[in-house]
Structure 1
Amino acid sequence: MDVNGGNKRVFQRLGRPSTDTKRQEVCYHWQAGKCNRHPCPFLHRELPPPLPSTTNGMSSKRPHGFADDSGPPRRSPNFNSASTWGRAHGGGVVGGNRVFRKAEKLCNYWVQGNCSYGDRCKFLHSWSIGDSFSLLTQLEGHQKVVSAIAMPSGSDKLYTGSKDETVRIWDCQSGQCTLVINLGGEVGCMISEGPWVFVGIPNVVKAWNTQTSTELNLSGPVGQVYALVVGNDLLFAGTQDGSILAWKFNVVSNCFEPAASRKEHSLAVISLVVGANRLYSGSMDHTIRVWDLETLHCVQTLTDHTSVVMSVLCWDQFLLSCSLDKTIKVWVATESGNLEVTYTHNEEHGLLTLCGMHDLQAKPVLLCSCNDNSVRVYDLPSFSEKGKIFAKQEVRAIQTGPGGIFFTGDGTGQVKVWNWLTEPTTSVQ
């Protein structure tokens, strides 16, 4: 896949004070030589040169503390203390670090391909802010929102699922789509485990063995399957009717057999994660339930969120959850074994999905998709912002890959491929 860093130059246009009743914006119709408005509310002259800029924007700080769920966790010395979560913010101000002098609003005209201001536009002409990662390429093909992304371990193929009722398989070397699988139902989720790829659609889970080309249908779900996870040799599915179903693979019969069914959520289960011998389920009923992996009994119900729990994520003894209530909550186990909130991070918008990983300096990073069509990139545990990713519509799927690559899929059906950089591309002091 060819590297395409994109145009990351952003200039802020500043006008001098004026008593002129016209708006302090240049008429782009006048610039094109075809303004026919008399009088025109915009300026028919170029703006004066920019004044010396002041430092506006966000700070970036790189402390310590996060990873994804796959593989052994890499921990930093100070991560064990729950009291360090968010402390570096000091009320939202982080000092002594790089400062991004970037406009944080994406130019809608640039997105549509017709911004007449070019480099003089005060809005962002780039799909990201930040110097630690860059855009590699974009994968086009899905017609509706990308709801799931999976990359089987050791494979050179990327799987993407969409509400357009298809799964697309992409060659990672060429970036070309090699196969389109029509499923006859919207893809609600998808994961890979060993040679298997599991896809959740209404009323069934599809299972494909990428080595033997075996294809199985796992029946039992009622309604859309929104979440899948593997733990304790079981495959778990969260469904639209609030149930959690489990299957176990039978080597002799070469099939997955039903192992358990639990229904304690009152609404759909839309997120599942396994960690510390527990299964955690996030639901539209605003709760997170904690399940013992051995007995599959619910041992605790977490009720601190006030809206739909969209995503749950495990890291060592910590659980992170995000919700449409505009918060990310960090949970830690007390001496009694119950989870309690140790830190709440507030956002301006509802939150859709979480993904944890390490950058190429082995520093823990959290990617958090918001329903304002952006993805926040945070260092942890400080929640210091190190960048943003923008999309035409909200990002519903984020997935890590090998060698510092990660993927985002948005509501237009577009999949973007990103990579972490060994060294920052720019640094503004």
Structure 2
Amino acid sequence: MDVDGGGSKRFFNRLGGQQSDPSKNQKVCYHWRAGKCNRHPCPFLHRELPAPPSQQGFNGTASTKRHHAFAANTDGPSSRNRGPNNFNGGASSTWGRTGGANRVFVRKMEKVCNFWVQGNCSYGDKCKFLHSWSMGDSFSLLTQLEGHQKVVSGIALPSGSDKLYTGSKDQTVRVWDCASGQCMGVINLGGEVGCMISEGPWIFVGIPEAVKAWNTQTNSELSLSGPVGQVYAMVVGNDLLFAGTQDGSILAWKFNAVTNCFEPAASLIGHTLAVVSLVVGANRLYSGSMDNSIRVWSLETLQCIQTLTEHTAVVMSVLCWDQFLLSCSLDRQLKVWVATQSGNLEATYTHTEENGLITLCGMHDSEAKPVLLCACNDNTVRVYDLPSFSERGKIFSKQEIRSIQVGPGGLFFTGDGTGQVKVWKWTEPAAVTA
């Protein structure tokens, strides 16, 4: 008996049920949402439940926006730089799928599917989690280099060499053939690799109490003594090799071509805790430390000329870009510094992430536009356009990415806490036809 005079039936019809089946359960089918319901008839709804009647107008507007987001992400050349996270500024992260007569919308979570990683996800393209190590269509994964057993702490690509060198806290340096991607050799150092850089034909590896130096052209090997504790950061500037050490000092060596060795040149004292990041720019040396500060040193006098104390946690990475200094910290902040008329640096912009920041790497994409790669301690790398800081992609990993290195021809490399090195390449922009 229709006690409410047909009201329940009309409400049921608004929910999407068939008029001939008023007994259908008022619940959305879980299997339909996954795109694999095979029950005919199904006792549950094959459409999303709307909001309560008082919110019908708002819900209707939201539904329209969802369909527009799907169209913008799939149709026409204007969507070329819009990945699944809608980096053009939209809030929607909805992807659309077409299956039979019904259009199924799968909302992708910003999380890599664990079953996909293991090679046995049964949902395929309809999985709500990512089946990819990245989001965004500006770059792609070329290959993965397996071998290290612990975090990759340094990546180097010497000029004129066809070999890639990776250092790890598993106390080894691995040598990879750039053409085949095969490991050509393993060098056991007897100590954790804290950092690694290349300058010309030279490779420098920071380990506890020493810096190892190899010349890839002459195969000569040197050991630079002097550091106290682990060497965490190195950089070359003004014909000097600088090394940031665990005791807070920065040691400098100068190469003597006559004796074919590196001779101690100076020790820069000022930081009270370990120096973990170094960069050279504008005739200055910039050092980031576990004492939460950045010190600015003159390359001519090797004296500290300014100390920046705006960060509230370890300054993990410093980077020079154009006329600016960029710094990031475990305090979740990325700061942009610019020199005033007095010559001192001031923070002019602060970008805040949801998680602590580990390392910065600047490079250019396939269109020669400046891009910033920012590794966070939530196992991701954010990819930003500069100077706008508009997000254009994201890289995921099983553990934190501690090393990012730029290569030739649009290549770049990332090394994570599992010991895995990934090789990425910037993709060429799609041709736009009239």
Tell me whether the two structures share a fold, i.e. TM-score over 0.5.
yes
Structure 1 pair 224–211 and aligned structure 2 pair: CA distance change class (3 A):
same
Per the TM alignment, residue 320 of structure 1 is displaced from its structure 2 partner at its CA by 0.2
1:227 maps to 2:264: no
Q: Distance in 1 between matches of 2:246 and 2:329?
A: 17
**Relative to structure 1, is the Cα distance of residues 94 and 120 closer, same or farther in structure 2, using a 3 angstrom cutoff?**
closer
Displacement of 1:123: 1.0
Aligned to 1:142: 148
Distance 1:411 1:215 in 2: 28
Partner residue in 1 for 2:390:
384
Residue 309 of structure 1 corresponds to 315
Is 2:339 aligned against 1:333?
A: yes
Counterpart contact for 2:27–2:45, Cα < 8 Å: no
Question: Structure 2 CA distance, aligned partners of 1:149 and 1:114?
Answer: 32
Aligned length: 370
Aligned partner of 1:36 in structure 2 is none
Provide the residue aligned with 2:286 in structure 1: 280
Alpha-carbon distance between aligned partners in 2 of 1:313 and 1:376, rounded to the nearest angstrom: 16
- C-alpha distance in structure 1 between counterparts of 2:80 and 2:360, whole Å: 20
Q: Offset at 1:425?
A: 9.8
* Cα RMSD after superposing both structures: 3.3
Structure with bigger RCO (C-alpha 8 Å, 6+ apart): 1
Matching residue's letter, 2:246: Q
- Name the CA distance, whole Å, in 2 between partners of 1:156 and 1:227: 24
Q: Using a 3 Å threshold, how does the CA distance of structure 1 residues 125 and 425 change in structure 2: closer, same or farther? A: farther
1:257 aligned counterpart, secondary structure: strand
Q: Alpha-carbon deviations, 1:363-395, whole Å to 9, x = none?
A: 000000011111000001000011001111110
Match of residue 200 from structure 1: 206
- TM normalised by structure 2 equals 0.78
- Flag structure 1 segments of 5+ consecutive residues without an equivalent: 1-14, 32-43, 63-91
C-alpha distance in 2 between matches for 1:378 and 1:410 = 20
Q: Indicate how the Cα distance of structure 1 residues 425 and 128 shifts in structure 2: closer, same or farther if over 3 A, else same.
A: farther
Cα-to-partner distance string for 1:59-105 (whole Å, 9 max, x where unaligned): 9999xxxxxxxxxxxxxxxxxxxxxxxxxxxxx99559998855422
Helix, strand or coil for the counterpart of 1:403? Answer: coil
**Which residue of 397, 400, 403 maps to 2:403?**
397
Letter in 1 for 2:391: E
Q: Residue 177 of structure 1 is aligned with which of 156, 177, 183? A: 183
Q: Report the 3-state secondary structure (helix = DSSP H, G, I; strand = E; otherwise coil) of the residue aligned with 2:424.
A: strand
Taking the aligned partners of 2:198 and 2:418, their CA distance within structure 1 comes to 24
Structure 1 residues 237 and 25: CA distance shift in structure 2, 3 A: farther
CA distance in 1 between counterparts of 2:45 and 2:202 reads 60
Q: 2:118 aligns with which of 93, 112, 116?
A: 112
CA contact (8 A) 2:284 2:296 kept: yes
Give the 3-state SS of the residue equivalent to 1:106 in structure 2: coil
- 1-structure distance, mates of 2:279, 2:288: 9
1:360 is matched with 366
Deviation at 1:118, TM superposition (A): 2.1
- Structure 2 residues not aligned, in runs of 5+: 1-14, 18-23, 49-62, 96-107
Q: Distance in 2 between matches of 1:189 and 1:355?
A: 15
> 3-state DSSP class of the match of 1:392?
coil
Distance in 1 between residues matched to 2:179 and 2:372, nearest whole Å: 27
Identity of aligned residues (%): 74
1:97-108 correspondence to structure 2 within 5 Å: 101=95, 103-108=109-114
C-alpha distance 111-298 of structure 1, shift in aligned 2 (>3 A):
same
Distance in 2 between residues matched to 1:310 and 1:138, nearest whole Å:
26
